[in-house]
Structure 1
Amino acid sequence: MNEPRGVEPEAATHPVDQTLPPARLIGAGLQHVAAMYAGVVAPPLVVGIGVGLSTADIAFLMSASLFASGIATLLQTLGFWKIGARLPFVNGVSFAGVAPMLAIAKAQSPEDALPVIYGAVMVAGVFGFLLAPWFCKLVRFFPPIVTGTVITLIGVSLLPVAFNWAQGGNRKAADYGSLTNIGLAVASLLITVVLRRFLRGFLKQLSILLGLVAGTLISLPLGVADFSGVTDADLIGFPTPFHFGAPQFAAAAIVSMCIVMLVVMTESTADVLALGEIVERPADEKTLAAALRADGLGTAISPFFNGFAASAFAQNVGLVAITRIRSRFVVAAAGGILILLGLCPMLASLVALIPQPVLGGVGITLFGTIAASGVQTLTKASLERGDNVLIVAISLGAGIIPMAAPEFYHAFPESMRIILDSGISAGCVVAVLLNLAFNHLGRTPEPVPSEAAPQPVH
């Protein structure tokens, strides 16, 4: 029966806003947690060691970061008022702040290091929250030529992380790069590919999680999995607010972390735009502002629970791309799981059982998928125009420098290295500036040698 004239049929619910049955919701949420767990606990581990914390305090710091990441993820996925992108977006501890926080710690006495860091992170979060409405206006400077380049760089820059995990994760370990570690990574990757090829339905969408489980089971007889963390962990533990002391506010530390916040916002902008393309809900200025507010608020709240700056996790963008599970409520479930892990150190240590080589093998799939998504976006960028090819070429080159030559910028000031040493940020800035130079600022686009010229890039 036809709809009456003038009455629009009820729009179907967008996949982003669809809910899943509880079993699928939790299973897919666990998959997200498994994919990003190592990324969340790595920054507090490095900072904890850097400031000379005990093993127990480092474990506390890691649980606190899981708890704070869960809160930030809920802010981003569920949102309220004008806060939160309401996309399947995982927020976790940003690695961009690790080097500046270690530099801050070196300038302080051991007992003041974390309080000064936390004070700077809180101010940086407020700074990012207030700046969001203006920063989001940059979205018009992120056409496909820019977003495609940056998305590709996100994937390419994460691949070395997967390769490091595949070798064992710890370069100082005796078995780093051993045949056992690399063989375990390859086995996990192959199992994931086979599962993806032959499974059907929801099990196919869980191929990443199943690959992680299978790889972990294979590692048990090889002695790669470490159970000591499970036996030593407490069953219940709440991240006591200001466990390491009340925050202190030092001007130099605040400036440093505000610069980090700008880097975090730049990377989050790229991730939001990438995720919007993947879930077929392109991020507009309003969505981007809401996402950046969630980053800022999550960062400002995090130090209360002994966490650090919060930002988008690119590896989970790849997981959405490969599984095609686009529901934001799945990622909200992952946020809830992160909170539970933060409240239950023993449960958190179970997730930590997944060996680094297993994560590395599966990570190649995740991160490579992000790069492939970037290439797919670049197909919309009128690459038949020589100017646009030049933009992509130079931007990719600038973004790959920190990976190919890590000491390239060693003589530059520390404030510049914060941006230049991040391939994503450096490539993003170069792509935006080149796009302005070639496709804005009064330049007339060169004619396209075809019958139907594509629309100019804006």
Structure 2
Amino acid sequence: MDIKPTSQPAMRPEDENLGIGMNIAYGFQHVLTMYGGIIAVPLIVGQAAGLTPAEIGLLIAASLFIGGIATLLQTLGVPFFGCQLPLVQGVSFASVATIVAIVTSGGGLPAVFGAVIAASILGLIISPVFSMIIRFFPPLVTGAVITTIGLTLMPVAARWAMGGNPKADDFGSMTNIGLAAFTLALVLLLSKLGNAAISRLSILLAIVIGTLVAWAMGLVSFAGVTTGPIFAFPTPFHFGAPVFEIASIISMFIVVLVILVETSADILAVGDIIDTKIDSRRLGDGLRADMISSLIAPIFGSFTQSAFAQNVGLVAVTGVKSRFVVAFAGLILLTLGLLPIMGRVIAAVPTAVLGGAGIVLFGTVAASGIRTLAQVSYTNNMNLIIVATSIGFGMLPIAAPAFYDQFPDWFATIFHSGISSTAIMAILLNLLFNHVKVGNSDQQSVFAEGTERSVRSAVIDDLNEGDYFKEGKLYDADHNEIVIVPEKSAAH
């Protein structure tokens, strides 16, 4: 009697376990790669909210803590939550401009937390059907939004480089700007001369070196680092109970839609990189993990969560596909979040140093958006005018911060954020021109004409059947060269 061997299901590449030692080593690499990005958001928001260094340290600790939990959920997964892929989660850059707009318009952090909670609930509700509406968020829309995110943050980098506090006597001094320039030069130098590991860590290393130089110059003090506990569990609602404002919720919901698109792209990208199957259910599980993490985050003092694209790139560069490596990165983030002293150390970094690094960091976000827009076809359509109008609309509150001061408060809150403005305009124009065909003119706009080649009809009249152009010369059907007469000669 023949006994056929039982076929074992093929192990997915992401399920490979490299062992504790390698998991920790590669996990640290993931943490270091995204560390600058995950601390940037609480730094920006904390300064915009006028928090003390100790309070900013709490924001940073909370962001690390929630980032760790979100990463563990995404990589290990539970039923209906987590795509079980090597994706590092952290505070989304997409929400920064909107959060700052809510904070500076008088709502404060409680209004931000309320908006994040409400918008995340809405995101959780729509995540099962998001695959049906994702076609309304093509690279045309997401590219314009991501570009605007980077451009919107550039004024933040400029203020940081000048010292951060416009009321300070040394704001805009050559010392501050020189320190920022030194940090920027370090980033570029390390990126050019360093090996692969140093190049990937160039921003973090430049911040460390820049801070040490500032300390040697007497421009920074670490006296406040020892003030407060070394170990502490993030306190729920430390900054106050959430406040729910309709305008802020609408504005944040737009951000959540962008985050859902970005995370979808990251899930699909990492699936392609590690050569594993991504179906609609797995995509939905990943999106739900994003939303439930974002829902919990405000309780502990953090903000919207999303997958970090730079870590997707790290997976591609290193070829390490294991989700358990990234799970260990989540454990490291979680541990750092329980050590507020680390947040206080980071809060002591001179603002000018962050400004130098921020130019590259925020510029990279804009460059990512431009790279996405490069995937868009601009042939025989109105995509060029959609991108131009959307980004231009998003730049209005950046170029003229008082632009919406005379508008109703709810309207100003939504459109005072460059990302919200760009997203709304890009979505509406994409629907108007690319989905609603009724009423489209058969005469192309000057914007479409500008992207196309054209030949005068008189030139066509001079050609015969079989004529062809090769290596700069014109030939007839019998391969005889045809003399090309210059314009002036032809006129005589």
CA contact (8 A) 2:140 2:373 kept: yes
Matches for 1:115-134 after TM superposition, within 5 Å: 122-134=117-129
Q: TM-score, normalised by structure 2?
A: 0.72
Structure 1 pair 318/358, CA: closer, same or farther in 2 (3 Å)?
A: farther
**What residue in structure 2 maps to residue 90 of structure 1?**
89
Deviations 1:361-398 (A, max 9, x none): 12222222222222222222112335121111111111
Return the offset for 1:279. Answer: 5.2
**What residue in structure 1 maps to residue 402 of structure 2?**
407
**What residue in structure 1 maps to residue 426 of structure 2?**
431
CA contact (8 A) 1:267 1:425 kept: no
What number of residue pairs does the alignment pair up? 426
Deviations 1:110-129 (A, max 9, x none): xxx95x98677545543432
1:395 partner SS: helix
CA distance in 1 between counterparts of 2:101 and 2:365 reads: 25
2:382 partner SS: helix
Deviations 1:25-75 (A, max 9, x none): 3144134223331312443565575xxxx9877765654454334333444
Structure 1 pair 18/139, CA: closer, same or farther in 2 (3 Å)?
A: farther
**What residue in structure 1 maps to residue 31 of structure 2?**
29
From 139, 156, 163, give the equivalent of 1:161: 156
| Counterpart amino acid of residue 148 in structure 1 | G
Structure 1 pair 416/290, CA: closer, same or farther in 2 (3 Å)?
A: farther
Structure 1 pair 244/149, CA: closer, same or farther in 2 (3 Å)?
A: closer
| Counterpart amino acid of residue 268 in structure 1 | I
Return the offset for 1:230. Answer: 0.8
CA contact (8 A) 2:30 2:314 kept: no
**What residue in structure 1 maps to residue 352 of structure 2?**
357
Q: Which runs of 5+ in 1 are unaligned?
A: 1-6, 107-112, 452-458
CA contact (8 A) 2:183 2:356 kept: yes
**What residue in structure 2 maps to residue 72 of structure 1?**
70
| Counterpart amino acid of residue 271 in structure 1 | E
| Counterpart amino acid of residue 382 in structure 2 | D
**What residue in structure 1 maps to residue 259 of structure 2?**
268
From 148, 170, 178, give the equivalent of 2:143: 148
CA contact (8 A) 2:56 2:343 kept: no
**What residue in structure 2 maps to residue 310 of structure 1?**
304
Return the offset for 1:131. Answer: 3.1
Structure 1 pair 382/181, CA: closer, same or farther in 2 (3 Å)?
A: same
- Determine what percentage of the aligned residue pairs are the same residue: 39
**What residue in structure 2 maps to residue 396 of structure 1?**
391
From 212, 215, 221, give the equivalent of 1:220: 215
CA contact (8 A) 2:71 2:89 kept: yes
Q: Which moved more, 1:74-83 or 1:434-443?
A: 74-83
Structure 1 pair 186/56, CA: closer, same or farther in 2 (3 Å)?
A: closer
Structure 1 pair 350/333, CA: closer, same or farther in 2 (3 Å)?
A: farther
1:147 partner SS: helix
Return the offset for 1:333. Answer: 5.0
Q: Which runs of 5+ in 2 are unaligned?
A: 1-6, 455-492
CA contact (8 A) 2:75 2:327 kept: yes
CA contact (8 A) 2:148 2:394 kept: yes
CA distance in 1 between counterparts of 2:286 and 2:248 reads: 19
Return the offset for 1:273. Answer: 5.4
Of the two, which has the highest radius of gyration?
A: 2
Structure 1 pair 102/278, CA: closer, same or farther in 2 (3 Å)?
A: same
CA contact (8 A) 1:72 1:92 kept: no
CA distance in 1 between counterparts of 2:196 and 2:142 reads: 31
Deviations 1:313-338 (A, max 9, x none): 8xx54676599658676765554444
Return the offset for 1:155. Answer: 2.1
**TM-align CA RMSD:** 4.1
Deviations 1:200-239 (A, max 9, x none): 2323322222222222222221223331221213212222
